[in-house]
Amino acid sequence: MATLVLEDLRKSWGATHILHGIDLALASGEMLVIVGASGCGKSTLLRLVAGHDTPTGGRILLDGKDVANLDPAARDIAMVFQNYALYPHMTIFDNMAYGLKIRGLSREEIRRRVDEAAGMLGLEPMLSRKPRQLSGGQRQRVAMGRAIVREPKLFLFDEPLSNLDAKLRVQMRAEIKRLQRRMRVTSLYVTHDQVEAMTLGDRLLVLHQGRPVQLATPLEVFATPATEYVAGFIGAPAMNFLPGALSHGGTAATLTNGLVLPFADGSREGEDGRALSIGIRPEHLALDPDGLRLTIDLVEPLGSETVLIGRLDGGELLSVKVQGAAPSHESVGVAIPPVAIHVFDATTGLRLGPREN
């Protein structure tokens, strides 16, 4: 158990800046999920912490000690890789024991730790097998076992579930969460999968083009996304955005199609006419015969729910998530409940919260 603090961590390759200064503090035992689209720098961040790359600037403090220039082996960090990176010629036992052998632990201690980890992960029957005789999920467990036996200060997970099929992914997700809760090891978890991000993290860090965009609990990120990017990234299907402008002295937004949405949580800063982007999640839209007319292009039945994708009369794309089966008409009426809207500045993309007073 340890704390991890990143101070203005930066990385560039020549003139290309990958990370533009990351500040982050993890409490002991916390699990922080770093989420972002591919190329946002999340893997680079993890590699810097692990010690596989050297930062261009900034500090990495593990338990208050700067480890930025230490060898990976000296940092007391364990990592779980996306492709597992097991040693193919070693048995499962040896795979887990290898790091302990190098560290010179006694045979009894190694045996004890490996057995304990194997028990926790349900790997006892396969300790003498080779990785290639194991299924993807089992290999992933071995990779976690290899990290656990080290009893490190910090766990790093680099998209560990991406190579698994959907069912196993859900199962392993729950398992990782249970394990991390139980062991209370400070963890950094990188993923592009928003469901993993929402379910696993104590807190979420959303990265976009090498910059941190929002750092908050998953529910905060979902309920009050800091930017239009975050709002569109978290949540499935993605949030709808409709262009509009501030009106009625800052107390409402008027969409380009003339619909007036009064703000439920207070007025916004700025002149009337300020360009806004109004976000609304597909599941918050309601079917209402008197609402806006949506011409349906595509119906995606998900079983208990259905996603309707269509266009408003003004041509704006809109998706709606409704309970049950799809309506059989070619167009439906959609109502936008004002309480559910998110207001963003159209030029900066930043969230525009209610005026404080």
Any contact of residue 87 with other proteins (CB under 8 A)?
yes
Query: In terms of CB distance, is 35 or 77 closer to other proteins?
Result: 77
Any contact of residue 185 with other proteins (CB under 8 A)?
no
- In terms of C-beta distances under 8 Å and separation of at least 24 residues, what long-range contacts does 142-145 make, across chains too? 142/84, 142/86, 142/92, 142/95, 142/96, 143/80, 143/81, 143/84, 143/85, 143/86, 144/80, 144/176, 144/179, 145/92, 145/95, 145/96, 145/114, 145/117, 145/118, 145/120, 145/121
Helix 166-183 to helix 107-121 angle (10° resolution) is 130
Rounded least distance, CB 126 to other proteins, Å: 17
Rounded least distance, CB 299 to other proteins, Å: 42
Any contact of residue 52 with other proteins (CB under 8 A)?
yes
Query: In terms of CB distance, is 132 or 329 closer to other proteins?
Result: 132
Query: In terms of CB distance, is 87 or 350 closer to other proteins?
Result: 87
Query: In terms of CB distance, is 88 or 289 closer to other proteins?
Result: 88
Q: Report how far residue 190's alpha carbon sits from residue 213's, in angstroms, rounded to the nearest whole number.
A: 15
Give the count of residues interacting with other proteins (CB under 8 A): 26
Any contact of residue 78 with other proteins (CB under 8 A)?
yes
Rounded least distance, CB 160 to other proteins, Å: 11
Instruction: Choose which of 73, 264, 275, 325 interacts with other proteins (CB under 8 A).
Output: 73
Rounded least distance, CB 146 to other proteins, Å: 8
Q: Write the DSSP assignment of 313-339 as a string of letters.
A: TT--EEEEEEESSPPSSSEEEEE--GG
Rounded least distance, CB 83 to other proteins, Å: 6
Any contact of residue 126 with other proteins (CB under 8 A)?
no
Q: Which of 284, 272, 290 is nearest to 341 (CA)?
A: 284
Rounded least distance, CB 52 to other proteins, Å: 5
Any contact of residue 331 with other proteins (CB under 8 A)?
no
Any contact of residue 222 with other proteins (CB under 8 A)?
no
- For tokens 């997700």, the residue is 173
Instruction: Choose which of 13, 54, 66, 89 interacts with other proteins (CB under 8 A).
Output: 89
Q: Which positions ≥6 away from 228 have C-beta within 8 Å?
A: 241, 277, 279, 344, 349, 350
Q: Report how far residue 252's alpha carbon sits from residue 261's, in angstroms, rounded to the nearest whole number.
A: 5
Query: In terms of CB distance, is 43 or 319 closer to other proteins?
Result: 43
Instruction: Choose which of 9, 18, 50, 215 interacts with other proteins (CB under 8 A).
Output: 50
Q: Where are the alpha helices (DSSP H) in 103-226?
A: 107-121, 136-149, 166-183, 194-200, 218-223
Instruction: Choose which of 18, 32, 68, 79 interacts with other proteins (CB under 8 A).
Output: 79
Task: Kindly calculate the radius of gyration of the chain based on its CA atoms and give it in whole angstroms.
Answer: 24
| 97 within 8 A of 148, measured Cβ to Cβ | no
Applying CB under 8 A, the residues found at the interface with other proteins are: 50-52, 71-73, 77-79, 81-83, 85-90, 98-99, 102-103, 131-132, 146, 150
